[in-house]
Amino acid sequence: MSRLARHLRRALVLWLVAVCPAAAQAPAVLDAILARGTLRVGLTGDYRPFSYRDPASGAVSGLDVDLAQSLADGMGVKLEIVPTAWVSLTADLAAGKFDIAMGGVTITLSRLKTAFFSAPAMRSGKTPIARCADTDKYQTLAQIDRPGVTVLTNPGGTNEAFDRATLNHATIAVFPDNTRIFDELAGGHADLMITDAVEARLQQKLHPGLCAIHPDAPFTSSELGYMMPRDVALKLFVDAWLHGLDIGGTHARLLAKWLE
């Protein structure tokens, strides 16, 4: 055995000695879910087509509600929906208020500092949506980022982060209720909103006066996934479940259902 090989082997042994006891003592989130018999899923309930909470009944529906039930069924446990908000999503997960965050969560470096993500469930990107009569005015960021242009955003998520990082001259108007923000836009209270292309496509169907602007060529490229604590067993389970959905075409069928 060469000197280099001996050094590498010794380094590996020392690493295993240091890491394995810590890993063995780390809380096993998947084991806790199975022992509890309930999977707690954090959803904001304000981001169609992923999750939407009906203000009258309080019922939550959407693509990721269906997928959360599928994940719970795969684990053989019951499903519990836990309300959360974009501004507190990461903190709520760290505090153990739920086991996994779903509902159209963008995979970001900031979130990866404290959490694991599943394999990407969807690819999207930020694109404008405006009243149909104004679409020619807001094709580019240069057209948008001008004095006198008001851009709506919901607080605490990647939409607001994108606006604040990109827009220096336009007015950014934070509207606290993401379930009514497109009504505000349709009513003429702002000029446009920049959001994920999948949401823009759906909202133009729900609001015939609004049009998604080049959703097939968004300003950015991003991936959406499921955020969870740093538990390797849980991540492996979620990734295997998600891979099975893709193979069987279930994810695509459910997405088509909620985009109708």
Each residue of 97-119: pLDDT tens digit? 999 999 999 999 999 999 999 99
**Which amino acid is located at 175 in the chain?**
F
Tell me the whole-structure pTM to 2 decimals: 0.80
Each residue of 197-207: pLDDT tens digit? 999 999 999 99
- Each domain of the chain, given as residue ranges in start order, spans 27-123+222-259, 126-212
Q: Which two tokens stand for residue 177?
A: 């209720």
> What average pLDDT does the segment 193-219 reach?
96
- CATH number assigned to the domain covering 27-123+222-259: 3.40.190.10
DSSP per position, 99-124: SEEEEEEE--HHHHTT-EEPSPSEEE
The angle subtended at Cα 203 by Cα 129 and Cα 190, nearest 5°, is 45
**Is CATH 3.40.190.10 correct for 126-212?**
yes
**CB within 8 A of 124, min separation 6: which ones?**
106, 196, 197, 198, 218, 222, 223, 224
Residues 48 and 28: their CA atoms lie apart, in Å, by 32
Each residue of 132-166: pLDDT tens digit? 999 999 999 999 999 999 999 999 999 999 999 99
Each residue of 175-194: pLDDT tens digit? 999 889 999 999 999 999 99
Residue 53 pLDDT exceeds 90: yes
